[in-house]
Chain A
């Protein structure tokens, strides 16, 4: 995908040219923005650490595998191929893990197979929900259960729709 790679340098070039035109001191302005980076990361860190330790425990204790296995029959009943149910269950927790799993599926079934296309759509149409919730709501005392459940339900239904669409499109 050549043109996707063009977007970012083109954006920077266009913005910086515009900023020069507006007589902005680029160096001062850019460093002013970067200044916010460290406090932002520091404020997220404790919550990231707790969530990632928990998800590591969840994964390594076998709890996640047990839940995957228990849910697999329900998944196939809904039209999600059993080969990708692990991907669907992993994606909310781990971006890097599901990327690795996706390329495994590609090499095991061939990148143009129905399974691989379903997996690609499942991967592309959902997000690492728990990670995003940890980052976005870090430190807030808000009730997270509702938005997280809504996001999980929406993503799950979109996977079912995606698997259907892969059959016709």
Chain B
């Protein structure tokens, strides 16, 4: 399978503490990399380093190493769901969803947006300002992105604790969706304190690796 990310000898020192060092791994299409480790092990920092939001992670991070073009911009192919869900509270779920597509320069028919919102159970709330929604519903607004049919444009998901604040059925639904996405050739790098079981899942424990 095609390698989409190769990371070599990653190292992160924060506040004079070495979180991990000499960490090397590869992620291929169809694979789910599950980062594990106790709180403060550097999982979030690693993810932020991978998408280029922080320079605290040193080492060589190479997205799409097999693509010949060096100027390949990886971010346009990534959905990054961060700790802070990037849900603008003054905007409705529909507007939030449309904006994240706009930032990626993807145009989709309205019906697809509605379909994604319906899947995460926000139908009937699409025009309500997001600050009137519950914490779990706000998480779902952010996660609705993952249910959009954009596999052609987005081939990588970087998910930071996507399963927090969700109820049992939503956790199940999202896990299924992650497995489907990987099954269709997507690559997922995620952190979670929930287990996710499948042949496609590979675990990486930051504590052991560090």
Does B bind A? no
Residues of B in contact with A (beta carbons under 8 Å apart) = none
